[in-house]
Chain A
Amino acid sequence: MSSSDDRQDKMSATRRGVLKGLAALPIASAVPAASFLSTPARADVPPTSAVNTTGLAVTDTEVTVGILHSVTGTMAISETGSVQAEKLAIDQINAAGGILGRKIKFIQEDGASDWPTFAEKAKKLLVQDKCASVFGCWTSASRKAVLPVFEQYNGMLYYPTFYEGLEQSKNVIYTGQEATQQIIAGLNWVVKERGAQTFYLLGSDYIWPRTSNKIARKHIENFLKLKVVGEEYFPLGHTQFNSAINKIKLTKPDVIYAIIVGGSNVAFYKQLKAAGIDLSKQTLLTISVTEDEILGIGGENIAGAFACMKYFQSLNNPNNKAFVEAFKKTYGDKIVIGDVTQAAYLGPWLWKLTVEKAGSFDIDKVAAASPGVAFDKAPEGYVRIHENHHLWSKTRVGKARVDGQYDVVYETSELVEPDPFPKGYQ
């Protein structure tokens, strides 16, 4: 171990000399992202032995991270946006001088929508590639599969999806919202603004919709003292919602609360419209339809529905304008950005800020430094990492437009505290 470290130090000493010369070139100044941070001068780059004591893939000029998403298989549809966002963030950080003076190099692995593959690739990234950090996963199933790997080999995962909560790990930073953050503010809003009294809960049949609806039901019945008139689940990929729509017509709920995922959404909203349910009169609140899904559903089928999440592409603030512009410049004008894509973009930036706060790439130091790290240039506004490794974030309600974008109609005035193990909701 020590002999190879020595050799590496000697090698990088000469490389450092060359780089000092290069540092005089205005590498970062041309890039707008440079304003995100103050670039540390090359001369201040701390030696690798000081910032990396655990043998991670860090040299004096480079730090290696992993990107672990599905780019094939059924989840590729969703995870493509996350990969794009993470690469964009890494490019921007590099253009602005990197982390502790080191450029980020990434190794991308494909989880192939298959949970054992995710675990295998996670192990490869940690054990073989010694990645200082990994950005990835989407489904809870893939996260649950890689979690023991990250804990055993002490890696760091930045996980971008909104999810059901009931989890917390030293080795994971959850950059999406957990269930209570997304659900409670939205239900409170719909009761206050739309005078809702009765709710019909719908969902795809797996852990996230079921847990989310459980929290929603507890909140509706125990805290708001209102009524749930129906609750129903459909297999993933279900395409026939006529029976459910008939039930909705009969029970006449004030709010349809829908947590249907993937291609089923397309069928659901098309059939809803065909059955004559007018979303400008019937309130529908969803937590699972982002701008990405609307591309498939078609704006005309979902216009008028409300979605409750933390980010919409149409958010009107300077951070977001710069983000959307950079994203479109890189990936084309037609691209849309959904909630999870934005959360994925936060990962590399939060990691960078945390490493700089810790003054080290070591996983334990990064994990310990994470609580309190704040990123005020986030597209969604301002976010801060909580002691439980989730983010404080605002919750917003958007109203779907025909063109597939959301108008933000409400946002919480304060950041919502993440509460992955909510009392009274289990």
Chain B
Amino acid sequence: MFMGYSLGELGSIFAMQAFAGLILFSVFVLMSLGLAIIFGQMGVINMAHGEFMILGAYMTYLTSQLFQAYAPGLYGIYFFVAMAVAFVVSGGLGMLVEWGLIRFLYKRPLDTLLATWGLSLIMQQAFRSIFGAREVGVELPEWMMGSLAVTDTIEVQINGLFVMGLTTLIAVAVYLLMFRSRWGLQVRAVVLNRTMAGAVGISTERVDRMTFGIGCGIAGVAGSAFTMIGSTGPTAGQLYIVDTFLVVVFGGAASLAGTIASAFTISQAQSTMEFFMSGSMAKVLTLLVVVGILMLRPEGLFVLKVRR
């Protein structure tokens, strides 16, 4: 399988595949961080996660349309505004959903699966009614297109770098929020023992609502970033949901570090294999490996020691 490539070419293959793998890794982390917070910390199986992403993507589309119509001169920076809008709208809707739907189901985690699946269908139909059945095109500002040539054969894509930077930023922010803030402390307390946390004066309802909202908000930002590389249509969220759950479950649901480690493993494995076999085969092999490891470690890569 290394036939026909010179040594130098193989070098650049691995460099470029590693970079492609890093982009994929960032994408996976972006997709799954929001889900990991909701699933890992609250035990809610959010099947509508993909739709929250697409909501973010549609917000990006709307923002780009507004900038094109009213401030074409500022088009270069619209993306940053769009991400903020995506976070606020997806997060806001998330809090609304938590208040109207999820909070009645905390004791029945499997029912959250059905309820959020229904929610995802409703959201898809809403997208279809509002934005039309066809995909919408989100135009990128000029500076985000193209790539930087490192050597003759190695090129680095600018929007890839952008996604990587964004992922780092969000991951750091989530870490600070969860492990260095008072609010994070409350979330972790509620996760460990809801009744006790309530007894010591933590408003568990407020914590739940904020957690769900922030998870959905991160999904929105991820969706905003995906307009750079993927499609924006009513059902596009379905494309991501399987991969997202794969990453979260493989990493060990309750652990954010596990999510990141699992995203890294899956993306690098897939990217390297993709080069030497077809895209479909690489995907099949990745799934097989994940299933194999989950059989040995049913709790995922990283297991939190929780008193039960």
**Interface residue A296 (Cβ < 8 Å from any Cβ of B):** yes
Residues of chain B within 8 A (CB-CB) of A263 are 135, 230-231, 233, 236, 239
A-B Cβ contacts below 8 A, count: 134
Please tell me if the beta carbons of A77 and B230 are within 8 angstroms of each other in the complex: no
> Closest chain A residue to B128 by CB distance?
A76
From A80, A270, A300, B228 is in contact (CB under 8 Å) with: A270
* B235 nearest CB across to chain A (Å): 5
Please tell me if the beta carbons of A296 and B279 are within 8 angstroms of each other in the complex: no
Residues of chain B within 8 A (CB-CB) of A276 are 146-147, 149, 155, 157
**Interface residue B151 (Cβ < 8 Å from any Cβ of A):** no
Please tell me if the beta carbons of B283 and A235 are within 8 angstroms of each other in the complex: yes
Please tell me if the beta carbons of A242 and B136 are within 8 angstroms of each other in the complex: no
**Interface residue A265 (Cβ < 8 Å from any Cβ of B):** yes
Residues of chain B within 8 A (CB-CB) of A249 are 16, 153, 155
Residues of chain A within 8 A (CB-CB) of B282 are 243
**Interface residue A240 (Cβ < 8 Å from any Cβ of B):** yes
Residues of chain B within 8 A (CB-CB) of A76 are 128, 133
**Interface residue A68 (Cβ < 8 Å from any Cβ of B):** no
Please tell me if the beta carbons of A270 and B279 are within 8 angstroms of each other in the complex: no
Please tell me if the beta carbons of A266 and B139 are within 8 angstroms of each other in the complex: no
Chain A 252-279 against B: per-residue CB contact (8 Å), 1 yes, 0 no? 0000000000111111001101111000
> Closest chain A residue to B243 by CB distance?
A239
Please tell me if the beta carbons of A265 and B231 are within 8 angstroms of each other in the complex: yes
**Interface residue A250 (Cβ < 8 Å from any Cβ of B):** yes
Query: With the chains together, A264 CA to B135 CA distance in Å?
Result: 11
Could you say which of B20-28, B36-44, B213-221, B296-304 contacts chain A? B20-28
Residues of chain A within 8 A (CB-CB) of B236 are 263
From A80, A250, A267, A271, B9 is in contact (CB under 8 Å) with: A250
**Interface residue A246 (Cβ < 8 Å from any Cβ of B):** yes
Please tell me if the beta carbons of A242 and B20 are within 8 angstroms of each other in the complex: yes
Please tell me if the beta carbons of B232 and A296 are within 8 angstroms of each other in the complex: yes
Chain A 305-343 against B: per-residue CB contact (8 Å), 1 yes, 0 no? 000000000000000000000000000000000000000
Query: With the chains together, A300 CA to B144 CA distance in Å?
Result: 13
Please tell me if the beta carbons of B229 and A244 are within 8 angstroms of each other in the complex: no
Please tell me if the beta carbons of B157 and A274 are within 8 angstroms of each other in the complex: yes
* B144 nearest CB across to chain A (Å): 8
Please tell me if the beta carbons of B147 and A275 are within 8 angstroms of each other in the complex: yes
> Closest chain B residue to A262 by CB distance?
B231
Residues of chain A within 8 A (CB-CB) of B12 are 250
**Interface residue A47 (Cβ < 8 Å from any Cβ of B):** no
Please tell me if the beta carbons of A80 and B147 are within 8 angstroms of each other in the complex: no
**Interface residue B159 (Cβ < 8 Å from any Cβ of A):** yes
Residues of chain B within 8 A (CB-CB) of A266 are 135, 137, 230-232
Query: With contacts A238-B279, A296-B233 known, is A250 near B27, CB below 8 A?
Result: no
Query: With the chains together, A294 CA to B139 CA distance in Å?
Result: 12
Could you say which of B85-93, B97-105, B247-255, B270-278 contacts chain A? B270-278
**Interface residue B2 (Cβ < 8 Å from any Cβ of A):** no
Please tell me if the beta carbons of A267 and B231 are within 8 angstroms of each other in the complex: yes
**Interface residue A234 (Cβ < 8 Å from any Cβ of B):** yes
> Closest chain B residue to A293 by CB distance?
B135
Please tell me if the beta carbons of A232 and B279 are within 8 angstroms of each other in the complex: yes
Please tell me if the beta carbons of A274 and B146 are within 8 angstroms of each other in the complex: yes
Query: With the chains together, A239 CA to B229 CA distance in Å?
Result: 7
Query: With the chains together, A235 CA to B242 CA distance in Å?
Result: 13
**Interface residue A292 (Cβ < 8 Å from any Cβ of B):** yes
Query: With the chains together, A234 CA to B281 CA distance in Å?
Result: 9
Residues of chain B within 8 A (CB-CB) of A239 are 226, 229-231, 239-240
**Interface residue B289 (Cβ < 8 Å from any Cβ of A):** no
Please tell me if the beta carbons of A80 and B238 are within 8 angstroms of each other in the complex: no
Please tell me if the beta carbons of B17 and A246 are within 8 angstroms of each other in the complex: yes
Residues of chain B within 8 A (CB-CB) of A80 are 133-134
**Interface residue B160 (Cβ < 8 Å from any Cβ of A):** yes
Residues of chain A within 8 A (CB-CB) of B136 are 295-296
Residues of chain A within 8 A (CB-CB) of B5 are 250
Chain B 243-295 interface residues, beta-carbon cutoff 8 Å to A: 270-271, 274-275, 278-280, 282-283
Please tell me if the beta carbons of B271 and A242 are within 8 angstroms of each other in the complex: yes
**Interface residue B13 (Cβ < 8 Å from any Cβ of A):** yes
From A74, A232, A238, A300, B139 is in contact (CB under 8 Å) with: A300
Residues of chain B within 8 A (CB-CB) of A270 are 228-230
* A260 nearest CB across to chain B (Å): 10
Query: With the chains together, A266 CA to B239 CA distance in Å?
Result: 13
> Closest chain A residue to B283 by CB distance?
A235
**Interface residue B71 (Cβ < 8 Å from any Cβ of A):** no
Residues of chain A within 8 A (CB-CB) of B20 are 240, 242-243, 246
**Interface residue B158 (Cβ < 8 Å from any Cβ of A):** yes
- Top 6 A-B residue pairs of the complex, sorted by shortest distance between their CB atoms: A296-B135, A266-B231, A242-B20, A263-B231, A298-B137, A243-B274
Additional A-B contacts beyond A205-B278, A246-B17, A270-B229 (8; CB < 8 A) = A74-B235, A77-B134, A239-B230, A239-B231, A243-B274, A266-B230, A273-B145, A298-B139
A contact set with B: CB distance below 8 Å: 73-74, 76-77, 80, 205, 232-235, 237-240, 242-244, 246-247, 249-250, 262-267, 270-271, 273-276, 292-300
5 A-B pairs in the complex with CB atoms less than 8 angstroms apart: A205-B280, A243-B271, A249-B16, A263-B236, A276-B146
